[in-house]
Structure 1
């Protein structure tokens, strides 16, 4: 991360190329995070564009370059939440993936079960799961990004894991239920 800190300091001094390199490095992670919150590609693009613009304009206000990634994640989450507040919540059937009935159906259906369970979580739980498992952020950083206590982060992780386990278990039981005599 020392390399990233040098890039941040360069960007703060006006090096546009350093800023571009920073965002290119973070882009895959930021994209996945935005997708987990807003889901639609056009909203992801809007959130990413606004995040880039806000980060660029206020980069000078970032006091500790080592927290650049956390700072950008917080901006992105705020932008995604703003987009969600501004749109009518509808889920088109085209956005729901269909399980393939191929030879790998059993494995595919389990992956789909978990994916569907994750997507059905309340947003506050989904974001914590995403930051912890997909962004590999420690609890302390998640606490800072979401502006909640570390205990609240742990509680949300615990609650989300329980809900995910229950939903996947019930879904599998429904698919695999059979009577034995």
Structure 2
């Protein structure tokens, strides 16, 4: 049996150390996703903290341990949307972006444009883009995560790409934007 599944089963039975280990394993992916939704480091950390809290108090609701990551991602997405509703706007943190620029000068403006444009997509498009390109989830898993038919995921992904291209002014982002 996979170690990850063993940890999930222990966490479901109330083992706090197992839950902490699972959070440690998932934290980088969750943080990156929260950052995409929230737009800045501080808000992303707030979303992440709230997600972990919600997961901790409801860990006993996990019915299939092999889908723990999917379950946790669903919580993060809902938490991100709740956070954005409260905030009513997405703000890109200039200090964070400056720090990123100092670390990595390679096409930061293009990446910034892309993040800004992704934040302007409607929820369904934004979520499929993030799950497909940033989480590298296959269409089937995105459908399971969002309780959506695979064909609907494909349609939303195609429409999201078209909308991104339109919002980016037709720039050549098709091949390079998500790398």
**How big is each residue's C-alpha offset from its partner over 1:62-90, in whole Å with a ceiling of 9 and x where there is no partner?**
11000000000000111111111111326
1:71–1:145: 8 Å Cα contact kept in structure 2? Answer: yes
Which deviates further from its counterpart, 21-30 or 83-92?
Answer: 83-92
| Structure 1: unaligned runs, 5 residues or longer | 173-181
Query: What does residue 9 of structure 1 align with?
Result: 9
How far 1:41 moved relative to its partner?
Answer: 2.2
Measure, in 1, the Cα distance between the counterparts of 2:95 and 2:3.
39
2:119–2:126: 8 Å Cα contact kept in structure 1? Answer: yes
Query: What does residue 25 of structure 1 align with?
Result: 25
Measure, in 1, the Cα distance between the counterparts of 2:90 and 2:165.
26
TM (norm. structure 2) is 0.78
1:8-87 alignment, distance < 5 Å:
8-87=8-87
Measure, in 1, the Cα distance between the counterparts of 2:154 and 2:91.
30
Measure, in 1, the Cα distance between the counterparts of 2:96 and 2:46.
22
**SS across alignment from 1:170:** coil
Query: What does residue 176 of structure 2 align with?
Result: none
CA RMSD across the alignment: 2.8
Query: What does residue 94 of structure 2 align with?
Result: 94
**SS across alignment from 2:88:** coil
TM (norm. structure 1) is 0.78
